[in-house]
Each structure stands twice: as C-alpha cells, then as structure tokens.
C-alpha cells in the first residue's frame, strides 16, 4: 500500500518516517525487521545476522543498510570488533506505520502534529473509510523514563532491556487501559496498537494546560473540575488509577465535555502502591485548579470519597475500619 502524506495546518515537527517511506523496498522492510528482532539479543546487531534474516547476501544488506542509515532509520557502528546496527526511533515508526497500513487501519498520516510531550507525539491519520484518527507514537528513548518503577514487574528476569521494548510496553499498556475504560469512561476509544504506536479515535478539543488562566472564569473552571472528579471517581471505582493525572492529561472537547488521556502508567487498584499514586493525582488536580482559577476544594473531603471508591474496588469497603 502506498502511504500518502496529508497536508494540513502548520507543521510542528516532521515525521521523518513519512518522508522516506516511499523510497523503501520490500528488502528494506525485511532488513529493518531483522534489526528489530535481533536487538533483543544484541545491543548492536551484526551485519551477518541481518543479512541472514533478510534472506540476502552480506553485500546487498550492507548497501541497503547504508541507505537506511542515510535516511536515519538505523545507525551504524564499526568500532566494536564487528559492523553492527541499531534501529532508530524513525525506523521503528516505519515498521509501525507499515503494519497499520497493511492491516487497513490507516491509509494516510499527516505531517501535522496535534500533540507533543516528553514521551510521545500524536499525528492525524486517515482510515480507508476517510475518517480522522489520532496516531500516537511513544518516544521513551527521548528522555529518561523516570517512572519505570511502575513497570518493574514486567522486567523481572529480563537481562537486556532496550528502549524499543520499553516503548512497546508503554503503548501496549495504554492500549490495554483504553480497552478496559472506553466502554465505561470518557477516554479515547482505541482502534489498533502496533509496537510503540496506538491508533485511537480523533477528538476535537484542547488540552486544559494549553488554556490561559483568563480563558476560564472561576465558575467555568469549577464545573470542569467537578466533571473530571466525577469521571475519575467512576474509573477508580472500576479498579484503575491513572498515576499521572494533571491538567496536561485533560482535554476539553468541542461539546463542552471532558476527556481523560495518557494512560500508559495506569495501575490497577489491586496494587497496594496505587493508593499513593491516587493521592498524588487528586492533590495535583486540586492544586492546579486552585493555583490557576482560584477553585478551592477541601482535599480531605474529596480524598475521603476517592478512598472509599478505592476500597470498594478492592472489595474492602466493609472492612475499612
């Protein structure tokens, strides 16, 4: 499938994978896949292993890898006793995009970036049916992943953990959370997941953090906070804690409703440490609304309600005393 590049509003940053996608041949995708799979066992994948996986000779593999290096899809190293390669984040993007295209999930992706954070970028995609979707690429390799402790159970007995694996795990966890919550809560509906990328429904709106303080009256801000707390209370009672709740993860939709986004760090309430993260979530939310819009709520009153919901989700409500 030929992946198109859409044009739209002002570009924030380029998705390099799209710029080179039309240059790639089938052998290039096999080579990229060979580097990806062998990075489970090598920090720098030997050229010979890549050629073997791609079912080609070393000379051809070296030539194609040179092009992939020029396109910033792989990086090369020759001072380690052999010639080795690593996949870059752009190469990982290419593999995820190809998987979505071949499965008929997306037909085009825009260079328009609609969201950016320390650990993810979001772009507009178009389905074969012509519908807009959001395509989120996790960028864990961009910064140190300071909350890796939330994933420590997944790292038991893992001796070689790459940023590829972490980025993939983060996307998988968020997709899992959205699958659980979308039937019962105001979160984006997931459509597909592959590697470090998630395709989800496209929602017109603006993040709360992007608003200026004078964009909302105190009464309007209080109404928004009440909606967020009501929705989050329902989610906690269901058995999930966001663990990174803030004004950056709340979207105000065009119909004056709210959406809670960014769920890769969610914790089930079955985890004892989820209570600590829930307390922090509530504190961060209340402090943000008080600081920016002078909305004052008593923490203990709000917390008591959430603590009751947390206990209820664990089947401990009747035993809290």
Following DSSP, what letter does each residue of 155-204 receive, concatenated?
A: GTT-S---HHHHHHHHHHHHHHHHHHHTTTSSSPPEEEEETTEEEEE---
Res 318: pLDDT: 58
Regarding whether 278 and 249 lie in a shared domain, the answer is yes
Reported as a single tens digit per residue, the pLDDT across 270-295 is 999 999 999 999 999 999 999 999 99
Regarding whether 159 and 61 lie in a shared domain, the answer is no
pLDDT at 130 over 50: yes
Q: What confidence tier does 166 reach under pLDDT thresholds 50, 70, 90?
A: confident
Average pLDDT over residues 182-188: 97
Average pLDDT over residues 258-271: 94
Q: What CATH number should be reported for the domain holding residue 51?
A: 1.10.10.10
pLDDT at 320 over 50: no
Average pLDDT over residues 300-310: 97
Res 11: pLDDT: 34
Average pLDDT over residues 22-40: 96
Say whether 212 sits in a helix, a strand or coil: coil
Domain boundary among 61, 90, 119: 90
18 versus 320: the higher-pLDDT residue is 18
Regarding whether 264 and 174 lie in a shared domain, the answer is no
Block residue for tokens 């590049």? 5
Regarding whether 80 and 33 lie in a shared domain, the answer is yes
Of 156, 138, 165, residue with least CA distance to 262: 138
Domain boundary among 168, 201, 234: 201
- Expressed as residue numbers, the domain containing 275 is 206-314
Average pLDDT over residues 250-275: 94
Res 123: pLDDT: 94
The H helix count followed by the E strand count for the chain is 9, 14
147 versus 228: the higher-pLDDT residue is 228
Regarding whether 215 and 233 lie in a shared domain, the answer is yes
Average pLDDT over residues 296-302: 97
- Contact by Cβ (8 Å): 54, 35: no
Q: What CATH number should be reported for the domain holding residue 177?
A: 3.30.200.20
Regarding whether 189 and 148 lie in a shared domain, the answer is yes
Res 80: pLDDT: 95
Regarding whether 112 and 67 lie in a shared domain, the answer is no
Reported as a single tens digit per residue, the pLDDT across 188-231 is 999 999 999 999 999 999 999 999 999 999 999 999 999 999 99
Regarding whether 80 and 55 lie in a shared domain, the answer is yes
pLDDT at 303 over 90: yes
Domain boundary among 201, 231, 252: 201
| Cα 229 to the center of its chain, rounded Å | 23
Q: Is residue 51 part of a domain?
A: yes
Q: Is residue 296 part of a domain?
A: yes
Q: What confidence tier does 165 reach under pLDDT thresholds 50, 70, 90?
A: confident
pLDDT at 159 over 50: no
Reported as a single tens digit per residue, the pLDDT across 72-125 is 999 999 999 999 999 999 999 999 999 999 999 999 998 878 876 667 899 999
Q: Is residue 190 part of a domain?
A: yes
Q: Is residue 175 part of a domain?
A: yes
Q: Alpha carbon of 193 to those of 110, 136, 154, 210: distances in Å?
A: 18, 10, 19, 27
Q: Is residue 158 part of a domain?
A: yes
To the nearest whole number, what is the mean pLDDT of the chain?
89
Of 261, 122, 124, residue with least CA distance to 196: 122
For residue 74, which phi and psi values (nearest 5 degrees)? Answer: -135, 165
Q: Above pLDDT 90, what percent of the chain?
A: 77
Q: Is residue 100 part of a domain?
A: no
Regarding whether 124 and 59 lie in a shared domain, the answer is no
Regarding whether 60 and 147 lie in a shared domain, the answer is no
What CA–CA distance (Å, rounded) separates 16 from 232?
Answer: 37
Task: Report how many domains make up the chain.
Answer: 3
Regarding whether 117 and 181 lie in a shared domain, the answer is yes
Res 319: pLDDT: 52
Q: Is residue 10 part of a domain?
A: no
Q: What CATH number should be reported for the domain holding residue 297?
A: 1.10.510.10
Regarding whether 75 and 23 lie in a shared domain, the answer is yes
| Cα 188 to the center of its chain, rounded Å | 12
Catalytic residue positions, numbered = 244
pLDDT at 156 over 80: no
Q: Is residue 97 part of a domain?
A: no
- Contact by Cβ (8 Å): 247, 321: no
């Amino acid at each position: 499938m030929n992946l198109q590049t859409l044009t739209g509003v002002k570009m924030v940053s380029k998705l390099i994978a799209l710029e080179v996608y039309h240059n790639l041949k089938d052998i290039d995708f096999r080579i990229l896949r060979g580097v990806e799979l062998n990075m489970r066992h090598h920090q720098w994948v030997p050229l010979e292993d890549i050629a073997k996986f791609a079912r080609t000779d070393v000379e051809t593999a070296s030539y194609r890898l040179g092009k992939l290096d020029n396109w910033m899809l792989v990086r090369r190293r020759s001072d380690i006793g052999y010639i080795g390669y690593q996949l870059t984040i752009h190469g990982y993007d290419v593999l995820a995009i190809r998987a979505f295209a071949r499965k008929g999930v997306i037909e085009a992706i825009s260079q328009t970036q609609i969201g950016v954070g320390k650990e993810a970028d979001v772009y507009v995609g178009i389905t074969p049916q012509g519908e807009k979707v959001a395509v989120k690429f996790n960028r864990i390799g961009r910064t140190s992943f300071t909350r890796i402790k939330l994933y420590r159970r997944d790292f038991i007995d893992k001796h070689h953990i790459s940023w590829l694996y972490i980025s993939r795990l983060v996307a998988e966890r968020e997709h899992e959370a959205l699958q659980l919550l979308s039937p019962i809560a105001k979160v984006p509906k997931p459509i597909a997941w592959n590697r470090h990328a998630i395709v989800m429904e496209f929602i017109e709106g603006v993040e709360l953090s992007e608003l200026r303080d004078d964009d909302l009256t105190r009464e309007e801000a209080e109404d928004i906070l009440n909606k967020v707390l009501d929705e989050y209370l329902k989610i906690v009672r269901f058995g999930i804690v966001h663990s990174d709740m803030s004004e950056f993860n709340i979207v105000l939709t065009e119909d004056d409703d709210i959406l809670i986004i960014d769920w890769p760090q969610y914790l089930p309430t079955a985890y004892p440490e989820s209570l600590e993260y829930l307390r922090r979530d509530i504190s961060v939310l209340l402090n943000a609304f008080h600081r920016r819009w002078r909305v004052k709520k008593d923490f203990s009153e709000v917390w008591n309600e959430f603590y009751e919901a947390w206990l209820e989700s664990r089947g401990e409500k009747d035993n809290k005393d």
